[in-house]
């Protein structure tokens, strides 16, 4: 079994979702919401497909559309057994720098929800890694599990996030030709701290880099990690699946 721990299977990106999800067979998919609109789609997908789980959150680049009622929707659906986390949430100073304070405020509010409902936290951070780290550290989480989605920071910071309770989401970037940093991190970090993800429809692994991504390509990520670690790909799938079941508290899986 394999688990794609992070993707965005939304109507804006796919008009063939039945087929896309079917191609994953009985493997598990975790769909991450990014806005109120997509959070609603996450719930619909969880209800429709047995192998789909979800996380709900407001992404830092979607803050402009944010309304307070968006958090209410998250709270109302947080006890759905297939909702396994809050995310993706965090800070993004690459796309949007002019609203840093609001980003931080909404991020902290969602961390409070994760704390209150004891949910796994799925983090997006871009050009804001120290601030993301400090906010997580100062949030005094109740041993919440954390996922550093599409991790792209330094090895040193990876170790610090792991100390806070994080696992690292590794996706298609690890297959790119210029992926020296993340390859080095995968080499050094213990396999029991690594999760597989695709971030579909984005970040398609080689050799399909220019095409639309989909969850089944998670196997290409697994293969690349197997190559880096010198471990059989089946073992990579087995261990990372166990990691995901643990990190997202996936009930009834395995």
Sites of contact with Ni ion (CB under 5 A): 199
- What residue is closest to Ni ion based on CB? 199
Q: How far is CA 91 from CA 39, 61, 129, 134, in A?
A: 18, 8, 8, 12
Least gap, CB of 201 to Ni ion (angstroms):
10
Closest CA to 69 of 35, 93, 45, 97: 35
User: What's the CA gap between 183 and 185, in Å, rounded?
Assistant: 5
Least gap, CB of 177 to Ni ion (angstroms):
22
User: What's the CA gap between 57 and 83, in Å, rounded?
Assistant: 11
Nearer to Ni ion, 4 or 199 (CB): 199
Nearer to Ni ion, 9 or 158 (CB): 9
Nearer to Ni ion, 55 or 241 (CB): 55
* 3-class secondary-structure state, position 105: helix
Quick check: 2 and 196 in contact, CB under 8 A? yes
User: What's the CA gap between 243 and 249, in Å, rounded?
Assistant: 10
Least gap, CB of 54 to Ni ion (angstroms):
13
Other C-beta atoms lying within 10 Å of the C-beta of residue 165: 16
Which residues, in sequence order, are CB contacts of 106 under 8 Å at separation 6+?
A: 58, 60, 63, 66, 89
Least gap, CB of 147 to Ni ion (angstroms):
11
Least gap, CB of 88 to Ni ion (angstroms):
5
Tokens 């409902």 belong to residue? 117
Task: Please name the helix (run of DSSP H) or strand (run of DSSP E) that holds residue 32, with its range, or none.
Answer: strand 28-32
Nearer to Ni ion, 14 or 238 (CB): 14
Other C-beta atoms lying within 10 Å of the C-beta of residue 95: 9
Least gap, CB of 25 to Ni ion (angstroms):
23
């Amino acid at each position: 079994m394999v688990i794609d721990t992070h993707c965005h299977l939304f109507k804006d990106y796919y008009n063939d979702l039945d087929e896309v999800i079917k191609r994953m067979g009985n493997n598990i998919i975790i769909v991450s919401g990014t806005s109120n609109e997509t959070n609603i789609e996450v719930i619909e997908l969880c209800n429709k497909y047995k192998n789909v789980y979800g996380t709900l959150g407001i992404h830092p680049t979607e803050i402009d559309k944010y309304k307070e009622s968006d958090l209410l929707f998250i709270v109302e659906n947080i006890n759905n057994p297939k909702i396994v986390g809050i995310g993706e949430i965090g800070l993004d100073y690459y796309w949007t720098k002019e609203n840093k304070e609001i980003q931080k405020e909404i991020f902290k509010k969602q961390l409070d929800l994760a704390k209150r409902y004891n949910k796994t936290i799925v983090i997006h951070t871009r050009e804001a890694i120290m601030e993301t780290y400090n906010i997580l550290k100062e949030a005094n989480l109740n041993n919440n599990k954390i996922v550093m989605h599409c991790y792209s920071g330094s090895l040193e910071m990876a170790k610090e996030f792991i100390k806070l309770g994080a696992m690292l989401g590794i996706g298609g970037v690890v297959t790119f030709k210029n992926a020296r940093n993340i390859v080095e991190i995968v080499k050094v970090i213990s396999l029991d701290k690594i999760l597989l993800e695709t971030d579909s429809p984005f970040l398609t692994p080689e050799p399909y880099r220019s095409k639309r991504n989909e969850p089944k390509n998670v196997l290409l990520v697994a293969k690349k990690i197997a190559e880096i670690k010198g471990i059989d790909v089946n073992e990579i799938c087995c261990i990372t699946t166990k990691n995901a079941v643990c990190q997202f508290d996936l009930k009834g899986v395995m």
